[in-house]
Structure 1
Amino acid sequence: MAITDIKTFSHLNQADIDALCKKLDAIRRDIELSLDKRDANYILRAIRAQRMLELGGRLTLFASRKRPAWLAGTAMLALAKIIEMMELGHNISHGQWDWMNDPEIHSTSWEWDFVGTSAHWKRSHNHFHHTYTNVFGMDEDLSFVVMRMTRDEPWRPVHLFQPVSSLVVAAFFEWAISVHDWALERRFTHTSRQRQRLLSKPNREFAQKIARQLGKDFVFYPALTGPAFIQTLGANATALLLRNLWSFIVIMCGHFPDGAEKFTIEEFDNETRGEWYLRQLLGTANFEAGPVLAFMSGNLSYQIEHHLFPDLPSNRYAEIAVRVRALCDEYDLPYTSGSLTKQFFQALRTVHKLALPDGLLRRTVDDAPETRSELKFIGVSSQHATSDRLPADPVTGKRRGLRTALAKVKSIQSDSSGAHSRSSRGTKIRAVGKPKSCGW
C-alpha cells in the first residue's frame, strides 16, 4: 500500500537524509538572503497586469452583444481570474511576499477573488495539505473527498461514478475547494455543539463570501452593462468555468501523475525535517513549462519546489529547480516531471482506473503507478531489509539509490512480461504446427 518507511523506499540512510536536509536548507537560506527589488517588482507587475486584464475585460463586455467583443472580454476576464487565483491569491496567501512588509499584498490581509474565504483556505491548504502532504488519513486533499486516488482507500460502489464526479469537480473546482475548506474549518476549530449553530463564525464567513462573489459576478457587473446583461452574465460564468478547469488541470498534474507517492501515518509519526523534505520531493510532480505557461499556472509547474519551499517567492522556483534536480542526481532520486498532457492524462487514468474494485486491476497494491511502497523491492534489492544505501556503481563510482532500484524493477518486470509473451506465442505455434507434423 502506501509507503511506511521512507528510508527503505528511498534507498537512503539517516545520514544521507540529514545531509540532503542541510543542502535543501542551504537553498532556502540562499534565496531568502538574495530577495531584493527585482522580486518585489515581479509581483507588483503581476498585480498590475491582472488588474489591467480585468478592467479591459469588464469594459469590453459593455459591447458584449457583439460576438467579437464577447469573445475578447470573456478571454481577458478568464485570464485575469486565472492569474488572480494561481499567481496572486495562492502564492500571496502562502506568505511568499510577506518579506516586503506591504500591507496590500501580505498573507494576513489579501482576500482573493474566490468563493471561499482566504482564512479558511490558509488553514486547510497551508497547514493541513502542506504539513501532511500525501499522508493517507491526514491529507484530505489527497482525494478531494469524493475521489479515490490511491488503493489505500477501500473501494466503495460510489467510486464507480468518479469518472463523472471528477468532471463535476473540475467544472465547479472553486466550490469544491471552498466547501472542503469550510468543512475543515468547522471540524477543527469548533466543538460539535458550536458546529450545530447556524450562525457560527465559519458559517457566517462563508455565507458572506458567497454573497459577495455571486453578487459581484452575477448581479453587479452584468447590471452595469445594461442591455448586455445576459451576455455579460454568460461571459462571467464562462470565465469562471475556464478558471476552474485550468486550476483543476494544474493541481492534478502536480499531485496525481505516476510517481507522486503516498505515505502512511506510521511514516509520518516520527518524521524528521529531512524526511519531511524527502516526502515533499517524492510526493509531488512537475510539468514542463516555458515562462508564459509557468506564470499562468502560478509557477505550480514547479510543484516539487513549491512543496519544498511553499513560502519562497514563486518567481524563484525555476532557479531553485536547477539545484533540486542536481541534488536528485547526486542522491539518485527520481525527479518526477513530464509534459502537461502526459502528467494530466496519467492522473486522469488513475481517476478512471481506481473507479474499479482492486480485484479487477492488474498491478499489486504495492507496485502500481499510483500506489506503491517499499515492498515492491522484495527480491529485487537488498535494501528491503536494511536502511543502508545501495553500493555505488563499481565502474563509475556513482551513488545508486531509488532511481536505480526503480529502473531495475521495471527491467525485471519487462523481461518477465516478454518471457511470458514469448512463451504464449511459442505455445500457439506448436499448437498450430502439430497438425501438420502428425497429419491430422
Structure 2
Amino acid sequence: MAYADVREYTHLTDEEVEALGEELDAIRAEIEESRGQADRDYILRIIAIQRRLAAAGRITLFASFFPPAWLLGTVMLGSAKILENIEIGHNTMHGQWDWMNDPEIHSSNWEWDTTQPAEQWKHSHNYIHHQFTNVIGHDNDVGYGILRMSRDQKWHPVYLGQPIYNALLAMFFEWGVALHDLDLEAIRKGEKDPKVLRRQLKQIRQKVGKQVLKDYLVYPALTGPFFLRTLAANVTANLMRNVWSYLVIFCGHFPDGAVHFTEEELEDETRAEWYLRQMLGSANFEGSKLTHLMAGQLGYQIEHHLFPDLPSNRYAEISVKVKELCRRYEIPYTTGPLRKQYFQVFRTIMKLSLPDRFTSHDPAPTPPRMARRLRDDERPTRRSELGKWSGAAAMM
C-alpha cells in the first residue's frame, strides 16, 4: 500500500526527521568540499576506457567472419554502450560533473548514445522521477506507463499481459524510455498540449533517425561484406545494454521494501522529509566493484536518490555513512544480492498482473485522490540538486 506520511511510517518525531535532514546535509557538504582531482581523474579515465572499448569492438567486428571475433567484438561494444549510458551519460546529465566546468562533460551539453533526447530525459527523470519518487500519480516511473507495480494502481484486464509487457520492456528498454516523457496517459486522456507533443515527437524522430543510421546502416556498411554480421552485433550490443539497464533500474526501485506514497506526502513536504522519502522509496543491490561500475554505481540507489548530483564514484563512501544513520534512526535500509532483488521485482510483476482478490493477503490499496497528473506549472518548484532542465522541449 502507499503511505501518506513518512513521519508516521517511520515513527520519527518532527525533531528527529529534521535532525536526520541536517546530518544528510552535512554529508552533502563534506563531499562537495572534498571534490577534486581524484574525482576528475576518475570520470576522465572511465570515458577513455569506454571510448577505447567501443573502438576496439568495432575494429574487431571487421573480422566477424571468425565467430570468436564476432563474440568478442559484440561483448566489447555492448559493454561500451552500457558504460556510456549508465555510468557516463546518466550521471553526467544529473550534473555530477558540472563542478569541473568542462563543457564536454556538462549536463547542459551531453547527448547520450540512446534513442531518447537528453532534453526529454532530464525532464522525465531528473525533474519528475527524482522529485516525486514513488508518489503514485506523480512519478511516471512507477510501471513506466505499462506495468502495474503497486496495488494502489487500479487493476484492469490489460494487466493480464504484464509478463509479456515486462519481457518486451526489458529487451526494448531504450525505445520505452524514448517515449517516456510523452506521458502516454495524458495523451490518452486528451490532456497533452498538441504543440508540446509535436515538438517532442520531432525531437524523438530526429534522435531515433541518428541512432538507427549509425548502428544499423553506417557502421555495418563500413565492414563491407560482413554487413549482416556487424548489423547482428550492433543489435545484440543494444539488447545487452537494454536488458542490463532495465535490470539495474528495476532492482533499484521495485524490490520488497521500496515504499510507495500518496500525493498527501507532498503537501508541505520539507527538505528533510524529501530526504526520508528517497531513502524509503529506493533500494540498493550488492555486487563487486565491476558490477557497481557497470551499473553506473546505481547499486547505491538510495545514495543516488539522496544526492543525485554528487559524483557517482563517491556513493560507496557515502553509503557507509547513510547505513549508520539508518541504524541510529531505525530506518529501513533496503539492500540485497542482485539476483534476490530482481526475484522480488519479478514476483511483484507477476502477482500484480492479477486482480486484487488473488492478492487479498496484501494490505488494501489506498483510495486514490488524484483525478489526473499535474502539469509542470502546477507542480512544486524543483529542488536544485536534481540537475538542470532548460524546459526547451515544453516551451517550443
What is the TM-score with the length of structure 1 in the denominator? 0.81
- Paired amino acid for 1:357: P
> In structure 1, what is the equivalent of residue 60 of structure 2?
60
Tell me, what secondary structure is at the counterpart of 1:142?
Answer: coil
> In structure 1, what is the equivalent of residue 269 of structure 2?
271
- Paired amino acid for 1:134: N
Task: Give how far 1:203 is off.
Answer: 2.1
Question: Which aligned segments of 4 or more residues in structure 1 are displaced greater than 3 angstroms?
Answer: none
Equivalent pairs counted in the alignment come to: 364
Please list the CA deviations of residues 137-191 of structure 1 after superposition, one character each: whole Å capped at 9, or x if unmatched: 000101110000000011100101101110000000000011112447x97xx97
Work out whether 1:127 is the aligned partner of 2:132.
Answer: no
Please list the CA deviations of residues 388-419 of structure 1 after superposition, one character each: whole Å capped at 9, or x if unmatched: xxxxxxxxxxxxxxxxxxxxxxxxxxxxxxxx
Task: Give how far 1:291 is off.
Answer: 1.0
> In structure 1, what is the equivalent of residue 311 of structure 2?
313
Once the two structures are superposed, the pairs formed by residues 66-105 of structure 1 within 5 Å of their partners are 66-105=66-105
**Which of 224, 227, 241 lines up with 1:226 in the alignment?**
224
- Paired amino acid for 1:307: H
Whole-Å Cα distance in 2 between the matches of residues 335 and 349 of structure 1?
Answer: 21
**Which of 313, 319, 326 lines up with 1:328 in the alignment?**
326
Whole-Å Cα distance in 2 between the matches of residues 216 and 170 of structure 1?
Answer: 22
- Paired amino acid for 1:137: G
Q: Which moved more, 1:337-346 or 1:354-363?
A: 354-363
Whole-Å Cα distance in 2 between the matches of residues 195 and 22 of structure 1?
Answer: 39
**Which of 206, 209, 227 lines up with 1:208 in the alignment?**
206
Whole-Å Cα distance in 1 between the matches of residues 149 and 84 of structure 2?
Answer: 28
> In structure 2, what is the equivalent of residue 286 of structure 1?
284
Whole-Å Cα distance in 1 between the matches of residues 19 and 29 of structure 2?
Answer: 15
Task: Give how far 1:315 is off.
Answer: 0.1
Whole-Å Cα distance in 2 between the matches of residues 279 and 17 of structure 1?
Answer: 11
Once the two structures are superposed, the pairs formed by residues 241-280 of structure 1 within 5 Å of their partners are 241-280=239-278
Whole-Å Cα distance in 2 between the matches of residues 11 and 135 of structure 1?
Answer: 20
- Paired amino acid for 1:176: G
**Which of 350, 353, 364 lines up with 1:352 in the alignment?**
350
Tell me, what secondary structure is at the counterpart of 2:226?
Answer: helix
Q: Which moved more, 1:40-49 or 1:286-295?
A: 286-295
Work out whether 1:4 is the aligned partner of 2:4.
Answer: yes
Work out whether 1:192 is the aligned partner of 2:196.
Answer: no
Tell me, what secondary structure is at the counterpart of 1:258?
Answer: coil
CA contact (8 A) 1:53 1:79 kept: yes
Task: Say if 1:33 and 1:280 are closer, same or farther in 2 by CA, change over 3 A.
Answer: same
> In structure 1, what is the equivalent of residue 238 of structure 2?
240
What's the C-alpha RMSD, in Å, of the aligned pairs?
Answer: 1.7
Please list the CA deviations of residues 8-34 of structure 1 after superposition, one character each: whole Å capped at 9, or x if unmatched: 111101100000000000000000000
Whole-Å Cα distance in 1 between the matches of residues 354 and 231 of structure 2?
Answer: 39
Whole-Å Cα distance in 2 between the matches of residues 183 and 271 of structure 1?
Answer: 25
Task: Give how far 1:195 is off.
Answer: 4.5
Please list the CA deviations of residues 254-288 of structure 1 after superposition, one character each: whole Å capped at 9, or x if unmatched: 00000000000011122111110000000000001
> In structure 2, what is the equivalent of residue 34 of structure 1?
34
Percent of matched pairs sharing the same residue: 53
- Paired amino acid for 1:351: I
Task: Say if 1:247 and 1:191 are closer, same or farther in 2 by CA, change over 3 A.
Answer: closer
Whole-Å Cα distance in 1 between the matches of residues 361 and 5 of structure 2?
Answer: 21
Tell me, what secondary structure is at the counterpart of 2:8?
Answer: helix
Task: Give how far 1:205 is off.
Answer: 1.4
Task: Give how far 1:362 is off.
Answer: 4.0
Task: Give how far 1:364 is off.
Answer: 2.9
> In structure 2, what is the equivalent of residue 301 of structure 1?
299
What is the TM-score with the length of structure 2 in the denominator? 0.89
Please list the CA deviations of residues 327-378 of structure 1 after superposition, one character each: whole Å capped at 9, or x if unmatched: 0010011110000000001000000000111101142325xxxx799xxxxx
Whole-Å Cα distance in 1 between the matches of residues 354 and 42 of structure 2?
Answer: 46
- Paired amino acid for 1:49: I
CA contact (8 A) 2:136 2:260 kept: yes
Whole-Å Cα distance in 1 between the matches of residues 31 and 201 of structure 2?
Answer: 40
User: Where does structure 2 lack aligned partners over 5 or more consecutive residues?
Assistant: 368-396
Task: Give how far 1:289 is off.
Answer: 1.6
Q: Which moved more, 1:61-70 or 1:257-266?
A: 61-70
Tell me, what secondary structure is at the counterpart of 2:3?
Answer: coil
Whole-Å Cα distance in 1 between the matches of residues 55 and 87 of structure 2?
Answer: 18
CA contact (8 A) 1:182 1:206 kept: no
Whole-Å Cα distance in 1 between the matches of residues 288 and 322 of structure 2?
Answer: 18
Task: Say if 1:182 and 1:192 are closer, same or farther in 2 by CA, change over 3 A.
Answer: closer
- Paired amino acid for 2:243: L
Please list the CA deviations of residues 88-143 of structure 1 after superposition, one character each: whole Å capped at 9, or x if unmatched: 01000000000000000000000000111111000110000000000000001011
CA contact (8 A) 1:57 1:75 kept: yes
User: Where does structure 1 lack aligned partners over 5 or more consecutive residues?
Assistant: 374-440
Tell me, what secondary structure is at the counterpart of 1:140?
Answer: coil
CA contact (8 A) 2:152 2:366 kept: no
Whole-Å Cα distance in 1 between the matches of residues 21 and 263 of structure 2?
Answer: 21
Please list the CA deviations of residues 52-95 of structure 1 after superposition, one character each: whole Å capped at 9, or x if unmatched: 00000000001111101100100000000000011001000000
Work out whether 1:154 is the aligned partner of 2:154.
Answer: yes
- Paired amino acid for 1:358: D
